[in-house]
Chain A
Amino acid sequence: MGQLVNQDRNILEKLTMMWHNHFATETEVINRAIWAYQNNTILRKNALGNFKQFTREITLDTGMLFYQNGYLNTNAAPDENYGRELQELVVVGKGAHNATQGFAEADVKAAAKVLPGWQINGTTNTSFFNSNRHDPTNKQFSAFYNNTVITGRTGPTAGGLELDDLLNMLFSINDPSLHICRKLYRWFVYYEIDAAAEANVIAPLAQIFRANNYEIKPVLEALLKSEHFFDVLNQGCYIKSPVDMIVGLCREFSVVFPPVATDYAGAYNTWFLLNSLSFIFQQYIGDPPNVAGWPAYYQLPQFNELWINSDTYPKRNQFTDQMLLTGYTRSGKNIRIDPTIFAKSLPNPGDPNLLISDSITYLFRLPLTQASRDQLKRDIILSGQTSDFYWTNAWNAYIANPNDTNNATIVRTRLRDLYQYLMKLAEYQLA
């Protein structure tokens, strides 16, 4: 959470979250801080790297091996868990848009036979290959994978070589590139992929992905620089996830946290508080509900709409209210929105019209009607007065003498009410 709140303007955190959802593990299941940390480190390191290499690393990650029971896998009783998820969720995909719903149950079993032997050393917290547990027979795959046979091997290098073969086979078909590009699209654009988007966006992106040997960066660059991405029809339709909303709010309003360098405990307590809030909004970082990640990213037909429901919506409103009114306090450290900081960052906060329109531009992706803006100005910023200069004077008086309690309160309460109102509008839930 601290990383999220304090990130620079780049895509790393957004992507790390995406991969956390994609290669989902649950810290409550892993239940060892070091393994969960190692898992997260792999996500960060590979966030913009090579997806194939990424998949290999995550397959052998201590956290993932434990989470998907890979460490228990033996040739006598192959555990099919990861063999299945590797194909269904991680690489190949199995969803509405996979026209060639393809891999067979036999492929799950065959993949499960490739993987046994990888175990975890609880002392060094590393994974290692135990050839005694490995299945040395050939693994026969279905027509979906062009009847590939992965040659059975023995000895200490068998596990690594067969895994490479498996990945080469999985990535030899087009499905993985399409699957990952759809995931990127849903993460960055919108959950509905119509036929036009499939043909004009997903297919070309997948082509780029394959042509670049599954490097993530070129695909992302193509997507985020595309006309499609900036098309007004595709803007403002993304319902914020709990983390998007909480982190977004803290960053929009420059919420001040205890400095981690000098107040380690204070900083972590307040970050953890945000984590708890995200939990009650139904997204707990580190603990997606299951191996498929959060339903908002795969559950037809609602997808992101699942974030907003009769339980979470009032809680989101309470959160924005409390951040503006009293803030939240943990162990004596308070975090809250100081609306004057936000207003000061706007180009012309002394002009009530610009104050409102600039705030809306910054906080919303959808416009408000002039009538609504006028009403906000009159009812909140001008307290029912009709002359703009009353606000201008109040703002100037505050800027000239910010330590005067009267001046500050006049400005603060009105800004507080303005942002409280804005953040209660449905528009605030969209990005």
Chain B
Amino acid sequence: MKRREFLRTTVPATILPTVINGFSLKAFGAESPLAQLLNGSTPNDHVLVIVQLNGGNDGLNTVIPIEFYSNYFNARSNIAIPENRILQLTPKTGLNPAMTGMKALFDEGKLSVIQAAGYPAPNFSHFRATDIWMSASDSNQVIVNGWGGRFLNYEYPNYPVGYPNSTMPDPLGIQIGSTTSLTFQGPSVSMGMSISNPTSFYNLLAGIEDPAPNNNAGKELKYIRLVAKQTSAYNTVVKAAADAVTQQAPYPTPNPLADQLKIVARLVKGGLKTKIYMVSYGGFDTHSLQTTTTDPTTGAHANLLKNVSDAIKAFQDDLKFLQIEDRVMGMTFSEFGRRIKSNSSTGTDHGAAAPMFLFGKPVVSKLWGDNPTIPAVVNVNDNIPMQYDFRSVYASLLENWLCVKNSDLQQIMLKDFQNLALVQNPGCIVVPPSTSGTSYLEIWGTPFTQSTTIKYKTDGGHTLIQIFDTMGRLVKTPVDAEMPAGSYTYPYDSGPLPAGVYYVRLQNGPVQQVKAMIKVR
């Protein structure tokens, strides 16, 4: 029996009578395996909502670095948001003016922004990049199951054998979309249930069928669908959960994302124990006419961001109305950001790192990381270097929100990633200490011609230093080791690397910092 399964079957029996087979719980010492189990991950009612923004969202016009406004403007003058229209989060950073809803959430303390989330050696294919984000693989690694699926497989071993059952009567994960995505793909079966789209979801609730032809084939089709509906183990519970909620706060229409989030709120309130919901919203592949040519605050991208922002705000207000705000956290992701420099067709091309948003009452509402540095002169291929590995965000949410034990995290995330204190007062683990204001990384000597020195500090434990070029390619990993706390220097010889800008990234526990260095001839 797997540990989690044991836990699940044991806990209800032990908590109520506080005896197991006649033994008082106190009879077990602190070191006993059972006591450790009970101190470990606790069953919780936390829910994670994943919002996928399909197409590659332009991060620089979403979260705008006011701090480097003139370089920002130079790089993309045809689509740059006028400085006086930016919705300030801090004096240095602001949001696209279409995002009034998310600005309000930030002010309410329910939104955080993770700057420049990405991964080493970014891929610029929609498909491959999407797979990387969903599988949480390395760039050069092909993994055919998803991080959500691995989590659910860990949480609910042996699924689908023996499910649904009394402890988990509900779908493990629900995807609003035509088919469950790679995110929910477990090691052998998909762990998610899909509700093909909001319209057919309501059809499900209302018991409406797609039309079947009026002949023998139609008769058999109806018969098979009937059996399918009767035997789809989860349709009834989903319908019951939805039916249990009759009143919700208003959502904007038309807004495809709001339609989907409205369903999520309804199902969570309706009592489903489902751990992960995934919704998606497409159209972010803004190669041309991202903004109108006359007013960069209007156009396709502004409409998309407005819908995202309005939908999430309405969702959050509804969660409050339904009194389930404490149970739900959300996260946005897109397969990549877009290039720093805009193109001449008022658009942007496939890029690299971009901001992620976390929303919900439990989030630590803040700006994570620094504004991306924007060079004064931008080349067409220049990309935003990553500050946070997106998998650190996943890993932190798994550990701090979905209460995966730290020692088990690696089997889901496949590697160690830094833990970020993304969640307020998490019910699961201790918050990592704050490290703001400390400089962990200095470049001694930049610009340099051949060699320079990287001075860095670590609080001990796993320490990682990576060097990326402006396209986000990993050039070198000078440090990747368990180290005692202290200050160190690393003499760096750039070898045959061409002249140009490079980014040094340090990661140590919850800390990561990025510094630029320039090689000249």
Contact = CB atoms under 8 A, between A and B. Distances in A.
A305 B220 contact: yes
A239 B223 CA distance: 10
A429 B224 CA distance: 8
A425 to B, nearest CB: 9
B436 interface: no
B142 A406 contact: yes
Given A384-B55, A385-B54, A378 B217 contact: no
Contact of A413 (B144, B177, B233): B144
B224 A239 contact: yes
Contacts of A326: 188
A232 B223 CA distance: 19
A233 B213 CA distance: 9
A281 interface: no
Q: What class of interface size applies to chain A in its complex with B? A: 35 or more
Contact of A410 (B128, B181, B188, B189): B128
Interface stretch (B245-253, B277-285, B306-314, B437-445): B277-285
A308 B128 contact: no
B179 A421 contact: yes
A413 B182 contact: yes
Contacts of A28: none
Contacts of B213: 366
A375 B220 contact: no
A378 B220 contact: no
Interface in A244-284: none
B131 A409 contact: yes
Interface string A303-318: 0110011100110001
B219 interface: yes
A376 B127 contact: no
A355 interface: no
Contact of A378 (B130, B233, B282): B282
A211 B127 CA distance: 64
Interface in B37-61: 52, 54-55
B153 interface: no
A369 B179 CA distance: 17
Interface stretch (A41-49, A335-343, A386-394): A386-394
A366 B217 contact: yes
A416 to B, nearest CB: 9
Contact of B224 (A385, A406, A421, A430): A430
B126 interface: yes
A390 B216 contact: no
Contacts of B196: 375
A192 B189 contact: no
Contact of B220 (A239, A379, A384, A414): A239
Contacts of B518: none
A413 B54 contact: no
A218 to B, nearest CB: 26
Interface in A137-169: none
A384 B128 CA distance: 13
A387 B282 CA distance: 11
A385 B142 contact: no
B127 A383 contact: yes
Interface in A402-431: 405-406, 409-410, 413-414, 417, 420-421, 426-427, 429-430
Interface in A223-241: 232-239
Nearest to A192: B216
Contact of B231 (A310, A387, A413): A310
Given A325-B189, A375-B196, A313 B217 contact: no
Given A325-B188, A409-B144, A305 B178 contact: no
Contacts of B52: 384
Contact of B216 (A233, A309, A376, A427): A233
B77 to A, nearest CB: 26
Contact of A321 (B55, B189, B231): B189
A239 B280 CA distance: 35
* Interface-central residue, A235, A394, A405, A410, by most chain B CB under 10 Å: A410
A380 interface: yes
B179 A379 contact: yes
Interface in B165-200: 177-179, 181-182, 188-190, 196-197
Nearest to A414: B127
Contacts of B177: 379
A394 B131 CA distance: 13
A410 B131 contact: yes
A8 to B, nearest CB: 28
A365 interface: yes
Contact of A409 (B142, B216, B285): B142
B179 A308 contact: no
B189 A386 contact: no
B84 interface: no
Interface in B213-272: 213, 215-217, 219-221, 223-225, 227-228, 230-231, 233
B189 to A, nearest CB: 7
Nearest to A235: B217
Interface in B377-432: none
B90 interface: no
Given A409-B131, A410-B128, A426 B219 contact: no
B179 A380 contact: yes
A284 to B, nearest CB: 21
A365 B224 CA distance: 15
Contacts of A314: 231, 233
A190 B178 contact: no
Contacts of A420: 179
B336 to A, nearest CB: 12
User: What are the nearest 9 A-B pairs in CB distance?
Assistant: A384-B54, A237-B216, A236-B217, A426-B224, A379-B178, A384-B282, A237-B217, A410-B127, A310-B231
Given A384-B55, A406-B125, 4 more contacts: A239-B223, A384-B130, A385-B285, A410-B128
Interface of B: 52, 54-55, 123, 125-128, 130-131, 142, 144, 160, 177-179, 181-182, 188-190, 196-197, 210, 213, 215-217, 219-221, 223-225, 227-228, 230-231, 233, 280, 282-283, 285
